[in-house]
Amino acid sequence: MWEFETDPEFQEKLDWMETFVSEEVELLDALFPNQAFVRPMDPVVAEIIAPMKQKVKDMKLWACHLGPELGGEGYGQVKLALMNQILGRTAWAPMIFGTQAPDTGNAEIIAHYGTEEQKKLYLEPLLSGEIVSCYSMTEPQGGADPRVFTTSAVRDGDEWVINGWKFFSSHARWASFLLVMTVTNPDVPIYRGASMFIVPADTPGVNIERNQALYGHEQMGDGSHALIHYDNVRVPLENMLGSEGEAFAIAQTRLGGGRIHHAMRTVGQATKALDMMVERALSRETAGSILADKQSVQNYIADSYAQITQFRLFVMYVAWRIDTLQDYKAVRHDIAAIKVLTPQVLHDVSQKSLQVHGALGTTDELPLAGMMYGSTIMGLADGPSEVHRLTVAKKLLKDGKPSEGMWPSSWIPGLQEKARKKWAKELEGHEAAQ
């Protein structure tokens, strides 16, 4: 059975979200642009957002990516997709709804792999929003290919000693703890030789060397993406997350969910860019008519609508597959395909919308230039598009098979011969009649 309907009870929640996000949360974007992640602990901001968070909790919409055992609602990915399409319109919404990265993914893996003690120490305060966390995997010499990672952890009695450099560890400067991927067995391929550790941020030897800033967001050196030197960092044995050698399985659990959540929010962002394009086309007059009367502008609108709708349906379909199969591995190539589309859709729609807004579109007084830059980031964060394309292609090529003989199986002369054999009797009469 195929259905495209939302149950009416949940639709009421979505309607509430639409109003709340457009009337309250979007104002935060205007008041504190680019700061949703830059100063999460600022007391003034905290005072403004506390009652907003409470409203979300009262509506039973807090941390909806989590199951009920962790304080979420366990709505599943399809409902989460519908919600994220609303949240994606604003940078602040994930913070207000308890779904901000990297804390969401970090919470998921501690919930999945953590001991009772680890959950108590790190997961509980993370879920209640008391603290923020960091995921420290990429290294300065490379992120797309983990085989170049060298940060190591070596066992010394009752402790592990971590040494090495990590790059683009987002939010490290505010984090209470970091999840650090390390090589614990260099003699086997890294996919079996890496282990994950929970490192409290105040452990001696955790040295943030630079806080790199995204272009146009913060001042150089005062950003939220850290270059970290782990210099003889000692953690007790019980700080390993999961088992020795299990870091990549853990990373996959984290990234599978994270990637599709980015895509869900991107549907929201791209839709916002389209809404803005339509409004501008109906409002701006030039060369004797409004922009909406120009055929090229109509083309922009129609193409954007088609592109977003295609993308949205793909995202919803994969969300439904995750809910149905409960297995990220089975949909890995679909999530990778979505990850490839995410920057493309956002780029194409925001670029057209910016074009229709003229010079104003290029300024920091509209979100469109930020969306275009954001689309570039989306093509890198959680792995570059090229690598996701490989995942898709590998799966299809593995499932495919070569043709028998020299000609492709769709070679028409070959098919004609097959057909003639199959209907030889019938064709005898037909050919005689001709």
Ligand X SMILES: Cc1cc2nc3c(=O)[nH]c(=O)nc-3n(C[C@H](O)[C@H](O)[C@H](O)COP(=O)(O)OP(=O)(O)OC[C@H]3O[C@@H](n4cnc5c(N)ncnc54)[C@H](O)[C@@H]3O)c2cc1C
What is the rounded distance in angstroms from the CA atom of residue 378 to the CA atom of residue 2? 31
Nearer to ligand X, 35 or 169 (CB): 169
Task: Kindly identify the residues of this chain, within the stretch 63-82, that bind ligand X according to CB under 6 A.
Answer: none
- Say which DSSP state 245 is in: T
Residue pair 235/162 in contact by the 8 Å Cβ criterion: yes
Going by C-alpha positions, the residue among 155, 223, 228 that lies closest to residue 185 is 155
Least distance in Å: CB of 134 to ligand X? Answer: 6
According to CB under 6 A, which one of 142, 186, 216, 408 is a site residue for ligand X?
142
Nearer to ligand X, 137 or 264 (CB): 137
According to CB under 6 A, which one of 135, 197, 230, 328 is a site residue for ligand X?
135
Contact letters for ligand X, residues 176-215 (x by CB under 6 A)? ----------------------------------------
Going by C-alpha positions, the residue among 257, 138, 145, 126 that lies closest to residue 200 is 126
Least distance in Å: CB of 315 to ligand X? Answer: 21
Least distance in Å: CB of 142 to ligand X? Answer: 4
Nearer to ligand X, 22 or 252 (CB): 252
User: What type of residue is 212?
Assistant: Q
The window from 107-115, 135-143, 240-248, 359-367 that contacts ligand X (CB under 6 A) reads 135-143
Task: Kindly identify the residues of this chain, within the stretch 154-173, that bind ligand X according to CB under 6 A.
Answer: 168-170
Number of residues that bind ligand X (CB under 6 A): 22
> 272-301 burial, b if ≥16 CB within 10 A, otherwise e?
bbbebbbebbeeeeeeeeebbeeeebeebb
Give residue for tokens 């504190």: 32
| Radius of gyration, alpha carbons of the chain | 25
According to CB under 6 A, which one of 90, 138, 195, 307 is a site residue for ligand X?
138
According to CB under 6 A, which one of 38, 345, 368, 381 is a site residue for ligand X?
381
Least distance in Å: CB of 65 to ligand X? Answer: 17
Nearer to ligand X, 257 or 300 (CB): 257
Count Cβ atoms within 10 A of the Cβ of residue 304 and give its class: 0-12 exposed, 13-18 middle, 19 or more buried.
buried
Q: Is 384 in the site for ligand X (CB under 6 A)?
A: yes
Q: Is 102 in the site for ligand X (CB under 6 A)?
A: yes
Instruction: Kindly write down the DSSP assignment for every residue of 140-201, as one continuous string.
Output: TTBSS-GGG---EEEEETTEEEEEEEEEEEETTTTEEEEEEEEES-TTS-HHHHEEEEEEET
What is the rounded distance in angstroms from the CA atom of residue 10 to the CA atom of residue 30? 29
According to CB under 6 A, which one of 31, 220, 330, 380 is a site residue for ligand X?
380
Neighbours of 434 (CB within 10 A): 5
Question: Phi/psi at 38 (nearest 5 deg)?
Answer: -75, -40
List interacting residues with ligand X (CB under 6 A). 102, 135-138, 142-145, 168-170, 225, 377, 380-384, 386-387, 390
